[in-house]
Amino acid sequence: MGGNETGKRVPATRRIAADVEREIAAGQWKPGARLPGVRELAERYRVSSAVALSAYRRLEKRGWVVRRPRSGTFVAEHPGEVVGRNTFFSWEKILPSGRLPELAAWCAPGFRFENYWGAQYYSVPGYIDWIELQLSGKEAREGIILFDEGMFPGMVKRNLLMPLGELRRDSGLQIPEFEPALLRACSYGGQLFGVPFSFSPVMLFYGRRIFERNGIPEPTSTWNWDDLMTNTKLLTRVERGRVTCYGLGLLTDPSVWGTFIHQNDGEFFDCNGNCAFDSDEACEALGYCCGLLSLPGVCHHTFGDRRSMLVDRLAEGRAAMVIGNGIDYAMLTERLPPEEWGVVALPGRRNHRGGFGVHALGISRNCRNPKETFRAIGRVFAPEFYRDYCSRSCLVPACDFERYGIPEALRNVARTGRILWMGEGLNALPVFDEIKSLLLRRRSVFSAERCRELCAAVNAGL
């Protein structure tokens, strides 16, 4: 890979990009091959790293390469392919399903499907940066964007999404009616920016036979934190020093301990967008989570476990209760007949408001034909597709609850619950992971001093 002596008057960025493009076209670099790093490219052309990076960005916009932060730059699978601007932008860490291309093909046939490369959810800032890049420049694309409630405030602040209020009113499209709480989860500054596709409530699931066998009444919607703690101890079975039936299985996810914080009248963020989980209410809720985790009869899901681990234990009679979300509900419907298990809202303390997350579809800010694109989103809710897709993808439908057989307990969360967590600053995301690590490591005490330190660190970077 070398310089082009005949093109000295051409700007370095364009000259380097043209050289790399010619080499790819000639077959020197095969699809999927890793290209020289930015620093190496800069040294070869005797330019700055910024110029070399700009060359790769130019090639990315033209469809010749794919850049993967912390991994490198790679030749695109179909280098230089001329495609239309219409694109379905997605990321499998938003919808935990390998069927996203199927969703895109049904929703928007003819659109190009683009999936973000990020390997874990805490790459959210990278997903937003990636979409912003796709919507920029002469080769900008447009179309449908998949997002969830945690990331979309950042997208709105970057002006990546188009308001949908007028489209929803004027399109004439028969999009289903949604619970107001689900629409609020897709709204910012009083404007709607997304159509809810599925929602994921935090719930308490339980095995009816275990409760019956132990002579303990089944959980109700009036259970509080003390009831949960007490019955977890009562339902735990230990034989020869080994737990044979866990009283409780716990999904260690921000959605779970975030709901505990909300139920104690605490918040992640205050009205000014600052972290607020250093309040007495939030610290008390996190301390309660530590107390649960310290019980020998509590098992928890951690990174590397099968996503179905907790549900499998409940189905096999090795756990009496499980605190999980919409994915756990969908998996349980496949593993057990309805008469063998039940579901209620997460037991509360100062209030019984449930918590939930939302997955939604929005339209890019630069869309040239928003009405047609909005109609494409409406195709998702065709019953012949929507029911089956949600079932196979372990998703809870966000509409027509009666038609799709959603239990009343889940409906109530959609009607009265709160968004799990939503912040102005995406720098808060790694801190949520740190809190989980502290909960699992310390288990018995979560200090108010540590909460203050974490909040100060997040707010400094917002």
- Which pLDDT tens digit goes with each residue over 273-282? 677 878 899 8
In this prediction, residue 433 has a pLDDT band, given cuts at 50, 70 and 90, of: low
24-57, pLDDT tens digit by residue?
888 899 888 999 999 999 999 999 999 998 899 8
| Fold adopted by 5-75 | Arc Repressor Mutant, subunit A (1.10.10)
Q: Does the pLDDT value for residue 4 go beyond 50?
A: no
Output the CA torsion sign for 410, 298, 429, 50. Answer: negative
Domain spans, the chain: 5-75, 86-196+357-403, 203-353+425-461
Which of 183, 139, 130 shows the shortest CA–CA distance to 160?
A: 130
Residue 82 in this model has a pLDDT that exceeds 50: no
CATH architecture for residues 86-196+357-403:
3-Layer(aba) Sandwich (3.40)
pLDDT digits (tens, 9 = 90+) for 251-286: 988 788 889 998 999 887 776 667 787 889 988 998
Question: How high is the pLDDT of residue 207?
Answer: 97
- The pTM (predicted TM-score) of the whole model is 0.78
pLDDT tens digits, 337-355: 999 999 999 999 999 888 9
Q: Which residues contact 419 (CB under 8 A, 6 or more apart)?
A: 149, 181, 184, 185, 355, 356, 357, 358
Same fold, 86-196+357-403 and 203-353+425-461: yes
Paired strand residues for 203: 324, 345
Q: Is pLDDT at 308 greater than 90 in this prediction?
A: yes
Report whether CATH 3.40.190.10 matches the domain 203-353+425-461.
yes
d(CA 293, CA 297): 9
For the ranges 1-10, 35-44, 427-436, the lowest mean pLDDT is seen at 1-10
The two three-digit tokens of residue 375, written as one number: 């109609």
pLDDT interval class at 6 (50, 70, 90): very low
Give the C-alpha separation, 294 to 288, whole Å. 10
